[in-house]
A and B are shown apart, each in its own frame.
Chain A
Amino acid sequence: MTSMDTVRQVHPAAKMYAREFKQGQMSRREFLARTTALGMTASAAYVLGGLGQPAQAAGHAQRGGTIRLQSEVRAHKDTRTYDWTQMAYVTHGTLEYLIEYNNDGSFRPMLLEGWEVNDDATEFTLKVRQGVTWNNGDAFTAEDVARNITRWTDSTVEGNSMAARMASLADDETGQAADGAITVVDEHTVVLKTKRPDITLIPGMADYPAPVVHSSYDPNADLSELVGTGPMQVVQNEVGVKAVLEKSGHPWWGDEALEGGGWFIDRLEIIDYGQDPAAWIAAAESEEVDVFYETVGDFIDIMDAIGWQKSDVATGSTIVIRPNQLAEDENGNKIYGDKRVRQALAMAVDNAVCLELGYADRGLVADNCHVGPVHPEYDDSVTRLPHDPAKALQLMEEAGMADFEHELQSIDDDWRKNTTDAVAAQLRDAGINVRRTILPGSTFWNDWTKYAFSSTNWNHRPLGTQVLALAYKSGVAWNEFGFANDEFDTLLAEANSIADVDARREVMGKLQAILIDEGVTIQPYWRSLYRHSAPNIQGADAHIAYLPQAYKWSLSA
């Protein structure tokens, strides 16, 4: 890559990881995720780990042309309140990111040149990339970075989801960045001091609601006037219909700073074909689009059949079919308060069957603990309760729930419905009474955390502790399990303060064991994501977290 990583010291933990990796104690993905999160560039990590760098076709990419992407086009809103990745697709050619998260689990500096983390993950030194300018001519400096991070930290803005990611920089009372948390040291250096060890800060900055905006940014202004560091401008953004990004003439810093450069295409059209995949297929067959946002379900085979290229990536996206421990029946008794009932539900279900029937075997079987092989701190020695329908029925009888009819609810869609059906069928096979209720998408989310027994899909997150903190910690807003366990909370807080991944894995193993033993949820599989693109398109690969990276796309000659 460039010279930016030559003078930097290698973090001592990174050297240790390299040793462990070479001894075979750590997977390639884990190694990359951990070392790059410590501030190492991906290429340095490859060198340190003695890995061959992945071949990049980008160097030979042809410049020019238009690519048409099938994707929903949603109304723009304040970037930090983005709640759909599709919104970021429209702006990502203009508003760029500090850090990029990649499919191999690594973090690559973009508008930063790099960063350093101290040993207990409480102090982050961000090096701002030099020579980058905004498309109005202003220079991009440390002030811009500090201002954006301050903006993200502000939790008083309604719907600002970045605030949760930056919470360790915030003052709990004012909801704003704490005094001294964000310091501009010089024109190209920003130092962040967190109030507690925070391993998720860097991954948080790579997420889709974190585009870097100019000081003049106004969420209500016309998108064509957007000031950003990227080479594209939004020339059209018609909600539900079409958005168009075009080269604005502003040179891209990445052509010099990144190997192989980027933004090969002159124009990206994002065309909305609604929510029905059949319409996407019709568009592909009519040669009206070149790239899909995502290919789902049976349509993957159809797209293979018509000769498009398939790209897939295993992720941490998943589904949970969970009882809510606080749910009550008509007599006010807690239906799932008894651990045996929950364990019985989990034991009656073979996760591989759910994967096969619910998601056509497109993924990996999981172990009911919502942490998996894509997460660096996953402990693979902890496994699920054995699949044993007879034991399940016995437990159910012991708990006095043999005659109870469980109501299992799901949203009305393809894979979520099918997976939930597969669970219901297996419960019935085990002798447990189940009634299925399917709710339309428009009403399902109104009460999604409160259903007694229902399924919910969860997106991928880079670190294992992240979902646990969002959904399993006692009393958090998205705790749909009604799960409250002091030991779990204490261990989770401990895990979150360990920068060293191996040490964290020991704690994670205990966390996984608690979730499994308490029968908190059935979490049958990890989904793979798929994206198809026309045969003449290069580089439009599926992304593990759906992040927009059209700068890698090009048309082949």
Chain B
Amino acid sequence: MMSDLINFDFIHSRYLFSMLPYTLAALDLDFSKIADNIPFILWGVPVTLSFSIASVLCGFPLAILLAIFKISGIKPLRWFADFYTSLFRGTPLLLQLSLIYFATPQLIGYSIPPFQAAVLAFSLNSAAYSSETIRGGILAVDKGQREAAMTLGVSYPLMMWDLILPQAFKNILPALVNETIALLKDSSLVSTIGALDLMRRGTVVASEKYVYFEPLIVVGFVYYVLVMSLTWAAQRFERRMRRSD
């Protein structure tokens, strides 16, 4: 009985594999159909990048601030930072984006542009995640470093900025790169609030030409290239940071 089953599977898979070329041909892939739309899709690159870069630039300082709140001796600051993190980690990013974009006009009568809404949502959200990473990085720096700084009479802000954070960042760089990559890809959520980013352009072309596979594959490929470039740049940066090892 058992051998029958295995035998069946074997024959079945043989059949599937032998059919593969025919199946692919039957898909009727034709990238030339969207050739004239490729520039339109590629113009999504600066859009996606500007959303991502602006969000990283706003989110990162906020993350450092939250991390410092979390390790501070002042309890209300700690409570605030912990609550903040729980809120932004505990709800979907898409919900946060929709709330900011659709609810802001209702609440304060300001019809917030997609760019502002998205950068606000992404930076607030990524700060919640990164602040935990940064907190871990700060705590992992040997406490002797702090003591050495204290005995030189260095003030707390200067000690953090010059001595503790640079060492913390060196160690958490891979994790921060992860978070930046996640943000770059999550920026595709702006397609839901009407911004013409890479993702949105892919679907626009798809509905215009009634083909889905080709434009979405192109979009996927462009995301992949963006992420690979980011990874490559981060690796170079990390190597530079590790000079002192």
Q: Does chain A bind chain B?
A: no
Chain A residues near B (Cβ < 8 Å): none
Chain B residues near A (Cβ < 8 Å): none
